[in-house]
Amino acid sequence: MKLADLYKEQGLVVSFELFPPKKWRGMANLFEHFNELAACRPSFVTCTYGAGGSTSTRTLEVLEWIRGDYPKIPVALHLTCGGATVEELKGFVRQAVDRGACGIVALRGDAPAGENFAPTPGGLRHANELVALVRATYPDLTILVAGYPEVHPEAPSPEADLENLKRKVDAGADVVLTQLFYDNALYFRFRDRCEKAGIRAPIVPGILPVTNLAQVKRITGLCGATLPQRLTQRLETYNNDEEGQFAVGVYYATRQVEELVEQGAPGIHFYVLNKSRAAALICRALTLDRFAPVLS
Ligand SMILES: Cc1cc2nc3c(=O)[nH]c(=O)nc-3n(C[C@H](O)[C@H](O)[C@H](O)COP(=O)(O)OP(=O)(O)OC[C@H]3O[C@@H](n4cnc5c(N)ncnc54)[C@H](O)[C@@H]3O)c2cc1C
């Protein structure tokens, strides 16, 4: 069975997105939190790839560590086009597969703040080209791509953005992981539009539980996601109270996930930011840790 087939199984596919820590202190933090994440029995985890290839070695190290210490948890690695030639991109995929990665999250990546994305000479311009590159060498590897319920900030129109997503799926992507969002209506509308556009891949909602208002304002500012007023108002009530903000954020995300599951979402992709408590509480409150299908 390949990773993408999990979405056809009974139960809900739960995945966690990690990032490769820059320093050993961050690695130690990840080791500490991963035990609790593993106890949630996710169907798989992913590890991001720093813009321009800045973390490629660390991303591979995270894969090796999880495959060694938690062999039952499948790992997919993110890969971005920026800062690499086609040969270098192929080399990374080869190393990932050789070390046991079960999938690649194929992305374009972002330019440094204030700049427009420019492809590396001998490299790729768009994620659909990366999907085609990986698919040409690995016909059975699961490929995941990004989708945008609130439209990618650089897209000229929602229609053009959807055409791009279709291009990625037509090039061989199996699964769409969405950008984070805080209003489920955005996801349901996006899923309907994908269906009408003939995009047949599972559209998996991406959830980032708010545990700290300042941090989430920074992240949503970068990716263009909106924060509903009813959420920010509650969070602001606990301006200098971390526990209060955490409780509001976890409650909100739990309700969000519950509705998504009830309305037929094929899985939930949690942006856990290398922390475990919020995701673990949500998974346990909704008993998701008992029903995630496993790769056989
Ligand atoms: C689930 C998820 C995981 C992510 N992981 C990472 C990560 O690990 N590392 C990282 O650096 N970033 C990551 N990102 C951020 C991502 O790199 C940015 O959102 C980036 O700006 C776009 O990447 P993409 O793969 O969606 O690009 P693309 O699909 O290439 O789209 C980028 C823009 O170009 C347009 N476009 C695409 N193809 C064409 C075409 N052929 N002609 C004209 N226009 C086109 C699109 O509409 C869009 O506006 C992630 C995002 C998500 C949602």
The CATH number assigned to the domain holding 75 equals 3.20.20.220
Residue 259 belongs to a domain: yes
Name which residue sits closest to atom 45 of ligand 1, judged by CA. 164
Q: Would the pTM of this model clear 0.95, i.e. be above it?
A: yes
Ligand 1 atom nearest the C-alpha of 179 is 53
Cα 109 to ligand 1 centre (Å): 6
Domain count, the chain: 1
* Active-site annotation holds for 17: yes
Q: What is the CA radius of gyration of the chain?
A: 18
Q: Which domain holds residue 187?
A: 3-290
- Sequence length of the chain is 296
Residue 37 belongs to a domain: yes
Residue 296 belongs to a domain: no
Residue 295 belongs to a domain: no
Residue 101 belongs to a domain: yes
Cα 248 to ligand 1 centre (Å): 30
CA distance 197 to 165: 10
Cα 169 to ligand 1 centre (Å): 13
Cβ pair 210, 245 in contact under 8 A: yes
CA distance 13 to 43: 6
- The preferred substitution site among 89, 107, 151 for testing ligand 1, maximizing ligand atoms within 8 Å of CB, is 107
CA distance 272 to 259: 20
pLDDT in tens, the chain (296 residues): 999 999 999 999 999 999 999 999 999 999 999 999 999 999 999 999 998 888 899 999 999 999 999 999 999 999 999 999 999 999 999 999 999 999 999 999 998 888 889 999 999 999 999 999 999 999 999 999 999 999 999 999 999 999 999 999 999 999 999 999 999 999 999 999 999 999 999 999 999 999 999 999 999 999 999 999 999 999 999 999 999 999 999 999 999 999 999 999 999 999 999 999 999 999 999 999 998 999 98
Ligand 1 atom nearest the C-alpha of 148 is 53
DSSP 134: H
Residue 255 belongs to a domain: yes
Residue 64 belongs to a domain: yes
